[in-house]
Structure 1
Amino acid sequence: MIVTLDYESELPLYSQLYDEIVRGIADGSLAPGDSLPSVRSLAGDLSINLHTVNKTYQRLKQEGYVQIHRQKGALVQPPGSVPATPEFRAMMSRQLRSLAAEAVCRSMKEEEFVEQCRSAYRSLKGENSS
């Protein structure tokens, strides 16, 4: 899996790394049972602080995307193993409302907004956008 971080972004690096790993799990480039690189290795590869990677891995563990074992490291869990909790649904609603507000302010049509959401979801599921 190739991780791309924007070091100039206002979004913290740990959030960007979290998003990249979750996206890799969703699109299948990280399969269930795959080991993530060690904290030290990934920090070195990305030229970021060890604590940034550790914070990301702890958040992935807390959310159920990985299990952390002493000898095996961080292991990817199957995509369906993380339930859509009420807290997740509330967070998703807040984020979508923010995106929708920006779309409205930029005069984007509702159909285009919905199609963008559908296309993003389907691309991660490996489906065509028909």
Structure 2
Amino acid sequence: MLIRLDHSSPAPLGDQIAAAVRGAIGDGTVRPGDRLPAARALADSLGVNVHTVLRGYQRLREEGLIELRRGRGAVVAPGAMSPGRARLVGGVRDLITEARSLGLSDEEVLNLVRTGLAGA
């Protein structure tokens, strides 16, 4: 799994790491049970702080995509969502990032989504 960061992007580096792993789950590059790189090793290879990697991993854990196990590291969760759902979660994150950059409130974003759903 290849992770590339765009240091000129307004997206936080931890979010970029999470998005890269989410994408790898989405395209089937990594599968349930696969181990992700150790946070320290990944941080060294990307030239970032280990806490940046851990923030990305924590986000994935909150989404139910990975499990963080002491002594075993980060592992793609056995019940990780389907590749399609992983892509959808990534799209939602992109929507949120874009909405924040435009200064939209949470309620405005929800209203946009509701309007889109009503028209679908």
TM-score above 0.5, yes or no = yes
Whole-Å separation in 2 of the counterparts to 1:54 and 1:80: 21
Partner of 2:33: 33
Q: Segments of 4+ in structure 1 off by > 4 A?
A: none
**Larger relative contact order (Cα-Cα within 8 Å, sequence gap ≥ 6):** 2
**What is the DSSP-based 3-state SS (H/G/I as helix, E as strand, rest coil) of the residue aligned with 1:80?**
coil
**Equivalent AA in structure 2 for residue 80 of structure 1:** M
Partner of 2:2: 2
**Equivalent AA in structure 2 for residue 30 of structure 1:** V
Q: Is the 8 A contact 2:66 2:80 kept in 1?
A: no
TM-score, normalised to structure 1, is: 0.61
**Equivalent AA in structure 1 for residue 37 of structure 2:** P
Paired residues, number: 92
CA RMSD of aligned residues (A): 2.8
TM-score, normalised to structure 2, is: 0.66
Q: Choose 1 or 2 for highest CA Rg.
A: 1
Partner of 1:80: 81
**What is the DSSP-based 3-state SS (H/G/I as helix, E as strand, rest coil) of the residue aligned with 2:31?**
coil
Structure 2 spans left out of the alignment, 5+ residues: 100-120
Q: Is the 8 A contact 1:26 1:79 kept in 2?
A: no
